[in-house]
Amino acid sequence: ALPRVAVVGRPNVGKSTLVNRILGARVAIVEEKPGVTRDRTEHPAEWLGRHFLVVDTGGWEHQAEGMAARIVDQAEAAVAAADLVVFVVDATVGALEDDERYARLLRRSRVPVLLVANKVDNDRQEALVHELYGLGLGAAHPVSARHGRGVGDLLDEVLAAL
């Protein structure tokens, strides 16, 4: 079976945009507002000849209400089925309470985690990644899912971790 890479994080951090970047096509659905369901969440992907599945967990955000209470269940299900977790945080917003919630769960899990600081669209915003050390998941990998910045380096890290 192909290794499964789950992209997790709270709504609007750019998970679907990142999944699109990884796939090199606009397959996942990107919405301005959080809470959008989609037909497919699992996509075959390839980088440097290695094949894997990318799981966009955004479909599970459809009940924005009660999210804080539900987030652990949802993330646990995604993490349990994954060989690697790509945990996306919006670097322009910083770590919020729900990000901390994810981080706690991921630190306890035995699945390897790559912390991604998304929306680092330019050099000036690189400094924002340092604020994410507090999540206790090591150094964040800065990317701009929108512009593709850093995504190649991230995929190198994904392959190395699989």
Would you tell me which residues interact with ligand GDP (CB under 6 A)?
Answer: 9, 11-17, 30-32, 34, 58, 118-119, 121, 144-146
Q: Which does 32 bind (CB under 5 to 8 A by kind): ligand GDP, Mg ion, none?
A: ligand GDP
**Toward ligand GDP, which CB reaches closer, 13 or 106?**
13
Among the listed residues 123, 104, 96, the one whose alpha carbon sits nearest the alpha carbon of residue 13: 96
**Residue 49 counted as an annotated binding residue:** no
Minimal distance, residue 12 CB to ligand GDP, in Å: 4
Q: Which does 121 bind (CB under 5 to 8 A by kind): ligand GDP, Mg ion, none?
A: ligand GDP
Tokens of 28: 């996942």
**Residue 11 counted as an annotated binding residue:** yes
**In angstroms, rounded to a whole number, what is the distance separating the alpha carbons of residues 109 and 91?**
23
- In the complex, which residue's CB is closest to Mg ion? 58
Which residues between 32 and 61 bind Mg ion (CB under 5 A)? 58
Phi, psi angle pair for 119, to nearest 5°: 70, 25
**In angstroms, rounded to a whole number, what is the distance separating the alpha carbons of residues 157 and 154?**
5
Tally of CB atoms within 10 A around 32: 6
Minimal distance, residue 61 CB to ligand GDP, in Å: 6
141-142 and 42-47 strand pairing: unpaired
